[in-house]
Each structure stands twice: as C-alpha cells, then as structure tokens.
Amino acid sequence: MFNRLQQKWKVNGLQVALILSTFAIGGSLTGYVGRKLMNLFDIGPEWLWIVVYILLVTLLWPLAVLVVSIPFGQFRFFIRYLKKMGRRMGIISRESGVGSRELGAVKRIAIFASGAGSNAQKIIDHFREKSQVEIALIVCNKPGAGVLEIAEKEGIPALLIEKERFFRGDAYIQVLKEKNIDLIVLAGFLWKIPVALIRAYPGKIVNIHPALLPKYGGKGMYGQFVHAAVIAAGEKESGITIHYVDEHYDHGDVIFQASCPVEVGDTVAVLAKRIHELEHKYFPVVVEELIMRMDK
C-alpha cells in the first residue's frame, strides 16, 4: 500500500508517513472540536443532532488537516489535495475566473496525447507548484490510453475526442474556448491537427518530435518508426525537436532542439530510452518559457 500511495501522490516514503499522520490527527481533531462545539448548543431530536454534527465535521475537517499539516511540513500537499477534492465534488470550479485574460492571469494548457502519457505527466509535475499555470484539460483520441488514467489520478478534466467531429466538424474548438485554453501542447498525439484548429490557435500549438527535424519527419514518422529509420540510416546522432504546429506534418518553426548520440549497436528500444530522457528533461521547461513569453 505504501508504494502505491508514493506513486499516486508522487512523494517519498517519509512524506507518505507524514501525510497519513496528518490525516489521522486531523480526523481526530475534527471529531474532538466538533463534539465540543455541539455541546454548546441544545439540539433536541437525536436525528437532528446527528445531521448537524455531520455537517459541522464536514466543514471542520479541511481546516483541521491544514492546521495539522503545517508542523508536519505538508501544507502544500494538502492545499492541492483539498482543491482536487473540491473539483471532483463540484465545489470548486476549474472555470473560476473564466473570461479573465488580463496581464498576469493564469495561463491554461490543454495537453493532447494518444498513449501512456509520460510527457504529459512530466509537464503536470513541472507545473504542480506554479500558481500562474494550470493544466486545464487532457485531450485523447484513444479509449483506454494511459494518459486518461493520469488525468483521473491528477483530477484533471479529460476529453475523449472522435475522428468525425475532429476532422470534419468543429475540431472541438468550442470546447477549448469554453475552457479558456491559452496553449495546446501535443505530447505524443498521433492525429494531424486540422486547419480549423490551427487557425483558431495561431502560434499557440506546439509539438515534440523524437528526431532532429527536418530529418525523419512527416506522415508515419512517429515513435519506434523514427528511431528505426535513424538507426537504419547510420546516423551518428538523433534528438528531439519542439516546434510550432502548422498545416503540414512536423513542419512548423523550430522552437528548440537537443541531441544525443546514436551508438554502434543501439536498438530501437535503447535509442527510444535516450530520446525519452531528453523529452522529459526539456519539454516542460520549454513549455514554461513559451508561457512566459505570452505575457510579454
């Protein structure tokens, strides 16, 4: 159980112990204070006493765990945790402040992904403590994709899109506008972006490609196919390219590139691992730099 909680909360073993202690002590404190407060009032029927007590402890519990979390050093964790619970229960809306687009307003990112979502997770982790950026939506085109599990775990709304509406309908532009999305980040998204969406978000859609463009780009060049082509061509280096998205596959202006060697005897899996390390290291940082430029 300990290991599962570490993975779910993205914390170390000591933090799990401190968090569980905060839950336990906060719960006990809630019950104690709740009973003390109830004793101050003369509430007649037993059923009414129970109802009022439940409502009271429901209100007291968030405050109690926040107070207890301070000496345990877990205040930030519980702030995030309570916000996530509020969103899931519909108490806190992710749309609060919709329409506010003044300088310094929170920038909202939509991540498009088709697979396991390792890059999406790195981006979420990177912005977890940054109050001026919100991962507001996960968009996916594959039911059962791992990125949808990430969205559920992180309490981020997910949108499962279908091909007809994406390519021949409104491309979900209305949904993105309603969410006040500022930047679209493609993190392993395998569908070509329709022209309508590109025009709705000019210069606001970025993609990461697992090779040094303009080499090894274009239709069908993704994932293992890219790495296999690089190895087959005898290239001495490969890398990543982060670029703006235009009407053509892997064609928009380059924002950033980083390279790594292709060693003799490399397999597709070995090279893919090296490329993933570059993606995880640089993609979140470059996305943050793009967000910062949006206020200038």
**CB of 6 closer than 8 Å to CB of 12:** yes
- Quick one: how far is CA 104 from the chain centroid? 21
Question: Three-state secondary structure along the chain?
Answer: CHHHHHHHHCCCHHHHHHHHHHHHHHHHHHHHHHHHHHCCCCCCCHHHHHHHHHHHHHHHHHHHHHHHHHHHCCHHHHHHHHHHHHHHHCCCCCCCCCCCCCCCCCEEEEEEECCCCHHHHHHHHHCCCCCCEEEEEEEECCCCCHHHHHHHHHCCCEEECCHHHHHHCCCCHHHHHHCCCCEEEECCCCCCCCHHHHHHCCCCEEEEECCCCCCCCCCCCCCHHHHHHHHHCCCCEEEEEEEECCCCCCCCCEEEEEEEECCCCCCHHHHHHHHHHHHHHHHHHHHHHHHHHCCC
Amino acid at 76: R
Residues marked as catalytic: 209
Alpha-carbon distance of 8 to 90, in angstroms, equals 22
